[in-house]
């Protein structure tokens, strides 16, 4: 198999407004990911840049074949469909969405959200929710309404972010598995469970997701730069999936570490 794919990384330069670290450019990223066998990356628009996706899109253009992209846009803008088409031509294969102050029950109810979910399959773009478990029922409803739309849940819906991995939260997430085009990122280990390597307390959660979704709908991601600061390790993130999931058989690891992300984002 070719190298691994990291399905979730933020890049930005010194004027991003973020403080940790001051910058994380493609060159900074490569210093961490290449020693672990990662040679393709899905870039996620960093929140501090808001709707200005230009830095990320420039990185995609400057590194052909290496980067894919998930952008952020104001879903209520009147020209959202032309924007989605334009960004598709620039390598955008998904849209990051989040409640951002709207109640978990109704955060997907706006007309703009429905317009994006309706057009996304035509453009082969995924909807990528950054959410906590309480926002999953709204996603479930939208998956039922737009069954052809790829949906990729970031960071296992942050299950375990409080330190407690709750069975009720896992059931909310695994319920999405009945929708054929739903996917989950096995990612952001630094922020979940014990929040330190080797992250093995996340193995039972990952096993539950594997049993529900199967290997072809799970994808590994680091969520760098956050996975490489404050004592966390990029290599430890890769190693959890590569070496510490004993239930994986055959080519399951290939799917989690590359093939699922390639199918959705490349």
Give the domain range for residue 112. 4-265
Please choose, from the candidates 127, 152, 160, 149, the residue with its C-alpha nearest in 3D space to the C-alpha of residue 213. Answer: 152
What pLDDT band is residue 145 in, cutting at 50, 70 and 90? very high
pLDDT grade for 231, boundaries at 50, 70 and 90:
confident
Which tens digit of pLDDT belongs to each residue from 43-75?
A: 999 988 999 999 999 999 999 999 999 999 999
Mean pLDDT (whole number) for 89-100: 96
- Tell me the per-residue pLDDT of 146-183, one tens digit each, with 9 for 90 and over: 999 999 999 999 999 999 999 999 999 999 999 999 99
Q: What is the dihedral of CA 209, 213, 215, 216, to 10 degrees?
A: -150
Task: Report CA-CA distances (Å) from 211 to 65, 67, 177, 217, 260.
Answer: 32, 30, 10, 11, 16
User: pTM for the complete prediction?
Assistant: 0.95
Check which CATH number belongs to the domain holding 38 and give it: 3.20.20.140
User: CA–CA separation, 150 vs 126, rounded Å?
Assistant: 5
Q: How many domains would you assign to the chain?
A: 1
What confidence score (pLDDT) does residue 242 get?
Answer: 96
For residue 146, give the 3-state DSSP assignment. coil
Whether the per-residue pLDDT at 19 is higher than 70: the answer is no
């Amino acid at each position: 198999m070719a190298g691994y794919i990291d399905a979730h990384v933020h890049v930005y330069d010194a004027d991003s407004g973020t403080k940790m670290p001051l910058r994380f450019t493609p060159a900074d990223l490569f210093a961490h990911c290449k020693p672990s066998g990662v040679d393709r990356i899905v870039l996620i628009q960093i929140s501090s840049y808001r709707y200005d996706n230009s830095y990320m899109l420039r990185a995609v253009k400057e590194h052909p074949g290496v980067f894919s992209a998930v952008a952020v846009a104001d879903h209520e803008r009147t020209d959202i469909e032309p924007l989605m088409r334009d960004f598709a031509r620039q390598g955008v294969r998904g849209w990051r969405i989040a409640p951002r102050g709207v109640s978990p029950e109704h955060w997907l109810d706006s007309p703009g959200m429905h317009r994006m979910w309706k057009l996304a399959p035509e453009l082969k773009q995924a909807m990528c929710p950054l959410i906590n478990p309480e926002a999953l029922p709204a996603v479930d409803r939208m998956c039922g309404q737009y069954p052809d739309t790829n949906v990729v849940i970031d960071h296992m819906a942050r299950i375990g972010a409080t330190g407690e991995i709750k069975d009720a939260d896992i059931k909310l997430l695994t319920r999405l598995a009945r929708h054929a085009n739903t996917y989950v990122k096995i990612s952001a280990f630094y922020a979940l469970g014990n929040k330190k390597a080797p992250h093995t307390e996340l193995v039972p959660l990952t096993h539950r997701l594997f049993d529900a979704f199967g290997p072809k709908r799970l994808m590994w991601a680091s969520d760098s730069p956050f996975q490489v600061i404050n004592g966390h390790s990029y290599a430890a993130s890769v190693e959890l999936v590569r070496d510490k999931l004993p239930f994986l058989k055959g080519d399951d690891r290939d799917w989690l570490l590359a093939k699922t992300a390639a199918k959705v984002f490349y």
